Structure 1
Amino acid sequence: MADPSTYRPKPGQIPDSPGVYKFRDEHRRVIYVGKAKSLRQRLANYFQDLASLHPRTRSMVTTAASVEWTVVTTEVEALQLEYTWIKEFDPRFNVKYRDDKSYPYLAVTLNEDYPRVQVMRGAKKKGVRYFGPYGHAWAIRETVDLMLRVFPVRTCSAGVFKNAARTGRPCLLGYIGKCSAPCVGRITAEDHRELAEDFCDFMAGRTGAYLRRLEKEMGAAAEEMEYERAARLRDDIEALRRAMEKSAVVLADDTDADLIALAEDELEAAVQIFHVRGGRVRGQRGWVTDKVEAVTTGDLVEHAVQQLYGEESGDAVPKEVLVPALPEPVAPVQAWLAERRGSNVGLRVPQRGDKRALMETVQRNAQQSLVLHKTKRASDLTTRSRALEEIAAALGLDSAPLRIECFDISHLQGDDVVASMVVFEDGLARKSEYRRFQVKGRIGDTQVWHGEGQDDVRSMHEVIARRFKRYIAEKEKTGEWAEEAPGETPEDALDGENPLNGENPLDGENSLNGENALTEEDGRPKRFAYPPQLVVVDGGKPQVAAAKRAMDELGIDDVAVCGLAKRLEEVWLPDEDDPVVLPRSSEGLYLLQRVRDEAHRFAIAYQRKKRAKRFRAGPLDAVPGLGETRKQALIKHFGSVKKLRSATIEQICEVPGIGRKTAGTIAAALAEAAPAAPAVNTATGEIIEEEAPVTAEAAQAPAGAVERRGQDT
């Protein structure tokens, strides 16, 4: 792990001009490429305090060993150079879009003497007109079959074409009128090319004028009593209309646009694109990307635009690109698109009307794509089994870990320290068995550390000890039940309000108060009585060592422990100097990531809920004229209302935006608002620690609830 300060350029070395920069690792491999309007300002953002950086940005700067840059004249040049370098170096920390499948296109090979209509996949070739992409190859063939009646363009391969020219006999399509047979000279090369260009014009959406021309010719043939020709033209018009009906009319006939929508969470993003030409949806495609860097929605849009149009030009770039959010800044991207098209391209967010309605449809498709991507592997029994087997092999376990528990610590600058425990059985989440802990710095009646020195390592030690102390206590009460497999979850267990049969579910230490270890109906044990085969902690070597130490102190030697570090997704084992590195494509690593990220999400949701309650119901609400911004500034400066209450007026004045008069008002209000007396257990005399139950909302909060690690740990 490199220290960014070792390769940080001196302030005077970085120019204050547009440019593109590259981060390289110790092996000189390019791991990230970025562009900036001001290289000096942008690069300064990477060399802040590591704790304030996004986890993925922190991972990138600690993996890098050097940074270099290239100065350009304009932001458009920076955009072009960034795209070129991303294609050349394929940096691991840049956003990488990957197609969720290989899409077929309808292609017309205008670069050949006798253009050919065919289905094509893969990289696009110069001089070939593409239409689509289509969802299925058979959809292209149906469209082509209808179109060949009117535009009998060549569709045969080069071998068939040469053989027909050699023998002087056309193929079957030439005999039935679905090919103009240029191979045997029935049509000249110039006329055949004109026919192919008419085919392209019709597919590009210029349909109205061509249909009107055919209708006029049909009427003229009927007046001249050429009824066979009029009937053929009638059938041609009907065939073209059937081909048009395969793409629904959604916008005005002159609409030429691409609609890009995004669905994202903290880790991944799905992109869906609808290609609208001539007011009809001519194609659809989708991508999924890992968010390996800290990116906004606007950044994702910019990367998607680069991916779509980086190798396109001319009519392949539409007149208008509709997006959910604009890149920042937007002007260079618009200029880059206009340069590729050869004319102005509108890049905007639709606000109302038909385009807004269609954008909502594209958004639903993107959301569905992300859901399917995430559930595809999780819902497959074979895949889950392979993931568990890979974990067992990597960690040296005797059998696959059918029950995995993962723990994570969350706090805000050392205050409101909480922890989460999530449970996965057979590779699937068991949300009814999730638990939350309030970290108090003690185990039972034993004080193990104090709040001023609290950190993730000691918090992890406390939580693991509390969880397995409960396991030992319930094992003694339940006897043989503790070793049996869990039964089916009751239907009402998912309401989250009372998953431990009426007892407090939050504290691994006191949730049952030492009583009622068995349920009243079937005598099965509480969920703390079930030992996991594997304990996963969110963190690296220190957190794993703390978890292992807590289990050793309790005599737990039949449960494996590992940690998953976010920096390089390394798996750490106790007493090992080097981590286990699973392949990025490993199903086992994917499962460990899902478990770890779910524990982090669950911990963050609880920590945010506690913080929100403190802000809403705090004594600062009673101070007149004190808004949310200054309230949060006070809490951030002092850490808690308790410390603020003991501060002097001079100390309160040190907070930005707080004058002496306001400081006096705050001090007076806090002095009047005496803290409520804690509840006391009349039997033991101990203070009762009140903890809120695990609610369904918290247990199933969306991944968007996860905040940046720089703010919530």
Structure 2
Amino acid sequence: MIDFESIPDKTGIYIFRDKDNKIIYIGKANSIKQRVKQYFIGNQDTRPQIEFIRRETETIDFSITDSESQALLLEYNLIKKHKPKYNVKLKDSSKYPYIMISNEDYPYLSTAYDIDGKGIFFGPFTSGLYVKTLVESLNRIYRLRSCKKILPKKTCIEYQMLKCAGVCAVEEEQRVYKEKIQKIKNILNGGTRGILAAMSDEMNTSAKNEDFERAVVIRDTISFVRKEMRKGKKTGIKDKNKDVFSFVREKNSGAFSILKLRNGTIHEIFTKRFSANVIIDDQTVIGEILSEYYVTTTDFDFDVLVINTSDEDFIKKEIFQNKKITVKRVQEKTSDYQLYETAYENACTALYFSLNRKFIAKSVLQLQKDLLLEKIPENILGLDISHVNGEWTSGAVVSFKNGKPMKSMYRYYNLEKIGNNDYLALSTILKRYLEKYQADMIIIDGGLGQLSSCMKIVKELNKEIAVFALAKRFDILYDSRGNEIMLNGRTSGAALIKAVRDESHRFANKLRKIKMEKIKTNGRKSKNIAED
């Protein structure tokens, strides 16, 4: 019998144990007593796993904390350590780097991969190089101690080389060291925007004080951070900064991704696997994952969290109650949905890789369904020919792997000797490509004549490949027998076909223009080029 009166009405964590004293569930609450009562009195909590927790719980332990944030962190660490069967457990197979400030009177700054009680952590980040460079730059700018063991009693060679300000022995440095650490905390707590803004202020201050060497180091750090930001995929979305969450699960296994949109660019995608008992419902899984992730991250440089659940109010209240962050459900046919699909594909890839299974994109499966194909078209080729009035003829083959462009497999062919003969040009580049590489499906930018010439090559090489032609003018699709196919233009499969056709056209024209520019440069300009 559980004695509810002995349970404190304070903030902290509670631990449910079974008859063998094994931990089966760990939770947190502002009022431990009230939260525990909800499990055992009435039907206030209707989650599927609650009945099992009630039935198996024999004893309850608890720990009081000074704040809810401390309770969150303690809960995270205990779940990670004990792995209770009714909690969602994040897996450590893909460890992400953090920046750590050690818990000491005169802390040091370093890279860490495990969150423990040894310091204050900032992150997680997806790039180890980014963390390493940022830590090195902050150490140089503020001349922090580099020794990670016991603080020495006298200065070392780092002090002599002006890399360290000598906090171990210099009294003046000891007085200002905590201010330096607080500045670094403020910088790292501000996300990318905070880092750039704070660094710019520091650079201007150093320049005014004529400390130009320090100003140059800060300038280079700012350039590095901006360069890293530009590495992300530009979306063209001019909207607020967002985190987009998606997850997938099969039986006890699952994976989630959080896509970070910053200034219209996909800055990074954080992906991790988890395990959860099959009786735990999706909304509980989502809530626990988000709770664990955001208690261990310092990147709140966003205004909106996009999710695919009806539990927006609960997540806002439980996770972002003290932050100006909006939680909204993703809607189809919006820019948010495109970002959500990208996050979902990353989560699926992580899960299926761990299960030794191959992830197939939705658009590829839809294409198989639309065209009634026997085989999943994982490898799709797009063919196009480009020329100007029969001159400077060139051919292009683009490759899509699992619904995405695989640019390492793009090929370009110089066909000047063929001239204005699209049929011969297409059959030539197809034969040369298929003699070296494999394909499941071919999409030709053209009509029945182009289709017929390519089918001869496929039969000649004895290949089993689905071949289709997509006419530009009316977007009519022909199969290998010349039959017209009516596609639902709204499906992801139809969109994939057009994407392959458009990419082959873009690639062919791009290389043809490069070729023409070279001819112009060599002084071989002609009337035909001028007309183009």
The bucket for the TM-score relative to the shorter chain is: 0.3 to 0.5
More strand per residue: 2
TM-score by length of 1: 0.37
Larger Cα Rg: Structure 1 or Structure 2? Answer: 1
